[in-house]
Structure 1
Amino acid sequence: MLLIAFLVLFFCHGLSSDRDTGTVFYTAFPENVAFYDPVPHNISLLLTAMYSNTNITVTIKGINFQWTNSFNAGVTFELPLPQDAELQRERISNKTVMIQSNSMISVLSVTRRQNRIQTKIVPPWRRMGTSFHGPASIQRMPNVSDPLYSMKVTVINTVKKNTIKVLQGGVVTDQEVADSYQIVQFNITGSSSDVQIKSQAIVAVLISHPCLEFYNCSCYMAVIQLQPDAMLGNGFVVPPIPVKDDSDQPDLLVISDQRFALLQGPPLFNGSVQESSALVAIDPALGTNNLQLTFSTNTSLVLIGPYFIINVIPQSSLGACFLVHAVMNSPRKALLIVDTNQRFDVHLGKNAFSPSLNWVPISGTNLSWTVVQLNRSTPHIIWHPSTQMAVYVSDSLSATVWNAAINLSEQPDYSGCSLKYVTPFLLNVSGTWAESLHNCISPSAEMLSISNSNIQQQMAQNLEPSGDPKEAWIGLRRRLLNEEWYWLNRNPVVFTNWAANEPKGSMDGMCATVSLGPSGIFSWHSRSCCLSLQAICTPKKSIFSI
């Protein structure tokens, strides 16, 4: 059975263009054995440095564990953790795993039990929150009343004393006060299909089941990291879900903090407006088609099938560069979802994927998807030079569960993985095109090259339209020999935003400007390079080593 869920969140913070890297992380390892079948297993962290001279410290106060080391850019280190770092069945624990660094890193938690591996991206502190929604039960699991066999919510508190509440059906069913860096575990019981977690201060939330993923007559715990409500979205695309028979067809759980309506998609619900949650079975007739769903408000979307659960990520954002780890020499598959017209430019390391890949169009969208087998012994960088995409990876041998790959960068770049969110700025000194080029370089920047639509949009978001200056230089000009346009950063001229009747002939202009007028469309014009204008500059980028 193959379940594929789409897409990846988009979150931009400060000077960072990444989603999954940061300098402060908190996580925990829920008990990873069915309570009736204890089997020895290993837990570890995969730590990857984005920049050289990165110092990383891992602390677990509850077991007096501390580790520190320094790494260069691009280095991944697997840190084995003591087995007693894993949570037991206590309600409150001091086994919070805290990861701190002086520079940007990514963190992946790994649990291995027998031949089964489960990985989970540890989100940086800025992607934690105070309100979360998730599933409260798995409808197709056996009806076992023992709380040890129920869904479990693990709440990881951070720096402040915190009151944490669990709500089902809008009613508080459990609550606890947690001190700084404590963990609280809640067993979820009852008939409600969804659960809500609310706290006074920032927390991270995991939801797990001790016997969820079923394979070869054995069951294994599954854990998902809930996204804060503030990062949810209202648009989702679910690619094909091949199943063995109709009984394997997953259910769809939609959760919101208010009533919602389905604005786009097949008629899944009875009536146009739903309560704050709805659990529906997907019609088997839709199993070979594609679901593109748009709701009237932000929601959490969860797919629940026999022995699997996947938190579907909103369509609102994608990434441009992803890190896929080789985990304990285990085979891994990657699911790629990208604009159909850009599918042949997806890269694995320095080279594009083979054009012979079997890309499958997602009906009703401009997207296509494919699955590739990756080498099991080395990490992989999957990236696209000109558009955003989604990458999911499978941990399990049966490929039943797909998790989002580590998103290193959201900004497409022909050079590779651009790690720094660079904000274009208007130089306050006027000059010719050549003088402005020098003036941009002086403060360790460069004249802006708008080589794709994302950069154009980024510029428009950061520069307010104005009447003065009306135009500014950009890093686009003609070659003297053949008069072809070229970007200073050597990216191909594929995307353009010329104004009407532009560009004019070379006699009228060899250099390019962007309009800053009140219309706000930031169109381009060809101008004489000798005009005296301000320029749009951008800080120099940092490219992750491939």
Structure 2
Amino acid sequence: MLTILLTVSVIYQGHAAEDYGRDFVTAFPENIAYYYPSVLTNVLKITALHANTNFHVIYNGANFITGTLNAGQTQAVYLPSEVEEHQLGQSSKSVRITSSNDITVFSISKRANSVQTNVVQPVTNLGQEYHVPFLNFTELLLMLNDYNVSDWVVSSDSSSQAQTYNYFRVLIINAEDKENTVKVTNEQSGSETSVKLSPFQVLQMKSSDSLMKVTAKANISILLTHPCLDTSLCRCTMVVHQLRPANLLGDSFLVPPSYITNNSRMFSTSDESVELRYGSPPLTGSEMLDAGSSDFLPFYQQLTMGFSNISASQPVSLRLMGVASLMDLIPVSMFSACYLVHVTSVTKSEALLIVETAHVSDVRLDSNTFGSSLEWNDINGTAYSWATVDLFLLMSHVIWHPSSKMAVYVLEKMQTSVEYGGPAISINKEPDPSGCLVSPAILKVSDQSVSWPESRQYCMQKGGQLASPSWAAAQRYMALELTKIGAKGQAWIGLRRSLQTMEWYWQSGQVFSFFNWDSGQPVNPEKGMCVFVKMEPNGSYTWGSARCCSSMKPMCFSPPSYLSLINPFG
């Protein structure tokens, strides 16, 4: 069993319900050291959810690359090494990604034995208020390692270059195309600093000696980072953590006992006092945390004894800290039904799943049902279980559930056996029995009245076709949707007679076996070859036939689309 808390280098972001969008901004913090004599690779993996998706990658204020992707296609974009941000202060080293349709963005940074991966959040998931925890660098090394680091910790009279690696950094990105004023408040001393950032500008500063409250007039993204944490194996490892904004927190969490090790800790950050309750009867407990506290939770090691569910008196961010990792748990309220996974390891990769116990057998990996073959473990006192499944190396996968929401984490190993990973890319919060839904079915009636052939052409230009209620369930769906919008009048549907045989056929190619004719319908062929529906909310939405040149409203239907990867090795 892999342990997610012992990672070489990892970014964990604020994990909202869904991770797709059309506007993203990110940055690449320093990995190990900018002067380290090893090749640095910075990559973006961009995956399109819809066909004909145009995207742009903008670096340092200039267009870097453009491209067009099909639905389910992933393209890797390699960025120059200069994108790495290692200096304190303001810079223009942000990377912006925009697109014409919904996409996901996944970043990878590699240098020597240090790897970072990040599910880049769309701007719609960012916020204007963040709480930055205080992490004591020296205390962390002493607590999370099995050796004495007192001789290694840099003293106050050491060189300035060494000093830059003796504290955590806070990297703030202006996510808007306008000037943004950012205010940083030290919650202990009350001191405030205000900085004006140009559009998409980056500010990197030292972390404070207490909780920092960061507010802005417009959306920002914040990364808490350290380029080089030492481990017991004398490896230099990177830690990066993308904070959740104050409006995207949770109050209920599940912790698989497998996460808990002697060299890991848990902490919660809030600018107000909060009570954490853990466990279920008869194993229960609680802890009251002071406002601004970032201390490690004393009950953490007890979670292996059956206290694996945690609830908070108000929304918080619950974080796990390991030898070289920092991770947000996914709140139960943010569980999703479908996730995209990009595997980056050449050694070992697995997914850790948290699923409702009653539905564990229905989990799908791509097109395969595999839940019943896994070894599931109950999370005591809850309706959930957890399990792990091996993933194919250097591939992408879709993990989804047809009827239940779940949490999916990706756990990977480097060639040095050190682990990294994080939450998978959330695609849809709601389950669908047919797959990983990226766009629902759409039924729309035009305001224009045109002929049947013109209606057919109109719907095709809109990316759909004339509605074809060719079976009872489809008729019920159509009636329900038309009732919702209060549609009235008559509208063409995709049924007509063949000019050669006079037989009825659906434009969609489905077999004609179901019908809902109105009384006295259909009329003789010479009076009507094409079919319309009577839109009467209090009626049965019955059908009739009329001359195809008659003017009626087009009723267009766009079927649902599901995520299917067309280049999983891409």
User: TM-score, normalising length from structure 1?
Assistant: 0.73
Corresponding residue for residue 405 of structure 1: 424
CA contact (8 A) 1:7 1:312 kept: no
Alpha carbons of structure 1 residues 261 and 103: separation in structure 2 relative to 1, 3 Å: same
Paired AA for residue 140 in structure 2: R
Q: Give how far 1:404 is off.
A: 0.7
Corresponding residue for residue 75 of structure 1: 73
Deviations 1:465-497 (A, max 9, x none): xxxxxxxxxxxxxxxxxxxxxxxxxxxxxxxxx
1:154-169 matches, within 5 Å, as 154-157=171-174, 158-169=176-187
Paired AA for residue 167 in structure 1: T
Question: Matched residue of 2:85: which SS?
Answer: coil
Structure 2 residue corresponding to 1:318, chosen from 332, 335, 338: 335
Deviations 1:492-523 (A, max 9, x none): xxxxxxxxxxxxxxxxxxxxxxxxxxxxxxxx
Corresponding residue for residue 200 of structure 1: 217
CA contact (8 A) 2:56 2:63 kept: no
Paired AA for residue 272 in structure 2: Q
Structure 1 residue corresponding to 2:275, chosen from 245, 261, 264: 261
Deviations 1:46-96 (A, max 9, x none): 01111111111101125x551111111111111110111111214111111
Deviations 1:286-337 (A, max 9, x none): 3353421211211122222333221223221211111111326453221111
CA contact (8 A) 2:34 2:86 kept: no
Structure 2 residue corresponding to 1:355, chosen from 348, 366, 372: 372
Corresponding residue for residue 93 of structure 1: 91
Q: Give how far 1:98 is off.
A: 0.8
Question: Matched residue of 1:341: which SS?
Answer: helix
1:26-425 matches, within 5 Å, as 26-34=25-33, 37=36, 39-61=38-60, 64=62, 66-138=64-136, 139-141=139-141, 144=154, 146-157=163-174, 158-169=176-187, 171-172=190-191, 174-190=193-209, 192=210, 194-212=211-229, 214=231, 216-241=233-258, 245=262, 248-250=263-265, 252-263=266-277, 265=279, 266-269=284-287, 274-277=290-293, 279=295, 280-327=297-344, 329=346, 331-353=348-370, 355-397=372-414, 398=417, 400-420=419-439
Paired AA for residue 177 in structure 2: V
Question: Matched residue of 2:317: which SS?
Answer: strand
CA contact (8 A) 2:249 2:316 kept: yes
Corresponding residue for residue 436 of structure 1: none
Question: Matched residue of 2:332: which SS?
Answer: coil
- Quick one: distance in 2 between partners of 1:316 and 1:399? 31
Deviations 1:408-458 (A, max 9, x none): 12221121111125689999xxxxxxxxxxxxx9875979999xxxxxxxx
Structure 2: runs of 5 or more not aligned: 7-11, 143-152, 157-162, 447-463, 474-479, 486-537, 543-555, 566-570
Question: Matched residue of 1:355: which SS?
Answer: helix
Deviations 1:319-369 (A, max 9, x none): 111111132645322111101111111111111116231111111111111
Corresponding residue for residue 482 of structure 1: none
Question: Matched residue of 2:358: which SS?
Answer: helix
CA contact (8 A) 2:169 2:224 kept: yes
How many residues align? The count is 447
Instruction: State the percentage of identical aligned residues.
Output: 32
Alpha carbons of structure 1 residues 181 and 78: separation in structure 2 relative to 1, 3 Å: same
Question: Matched residue of 1:89: which SS?
Answer: coil
Alpha carbons of structure 1 residues 448 and 341: separation in structure 2 relative to 1, 3 Å: farther
Residue range with higher mean Cα deviation, 132-141 or 153-162: 132-141
1:479-518 matches, within 5 Å, as none
- Quick one: distance in 1 between partners of 2:131 and 2:14? 17
CA contact (8 A) 1:241 1:288 kept: no
Q: Give how far 1:97 is off.
A: 0.4
Alpha carbons of structure 1 residues 399 and 360: separation in structure 2 relative to 1, 3 Å: farther
Alpha carbons of structure 1 residues 212 and 315: separation in structure 2 relative to 1, 3 Å: farther
Question: Matched residue of 1:148: which SS?
Answer: coil
Alpha carbons of structure 1 residues 43 and 342: separation in structure 2 relative to 1, 3 Å: same
Alpha carbons of structure 1 residues 364 and 7: separation in structure 2 relative to 1, 3 Å: farther
- Quick one: distance in 2 between partners of 1:229 and 1:388? 23
Q: Give how far 1:129 is off.
A: 0.7
Corresponding residue for residue 479 of structure 1: none
- Quick one: distance in 1 between partners of 2:374 and 2:368? 14
Corresponding residue for residue 539 of structure 2: 532
- Quick one: distance in 1 between partners of 2:276 and 2:468? 46
Deviations 1:253-296 (A, max 9, x none): 222232222355443525xx743435223353433534212112
CA contact (8 A) 2:116 2:420 kept: no
CA contact (8 A) 1:7 1:237 kept: no
CA contact (8 A) 2:437 2:561 kept: yes
Q: Give how far 1:125 is off.
A: 1.2
- Quick one: distance in 1 between partners of 2:69 and 2:398? 19
Deviations 1:204-228 (A, max 9, x none): 1111112247374202112121111
CA contact (8 A) 1:447 1:538 kept: no
- Quick one: distance in 2 between partners of 1:365 and 1:8? 24
CA contact (8 A) 1:10 1:316 kept: no
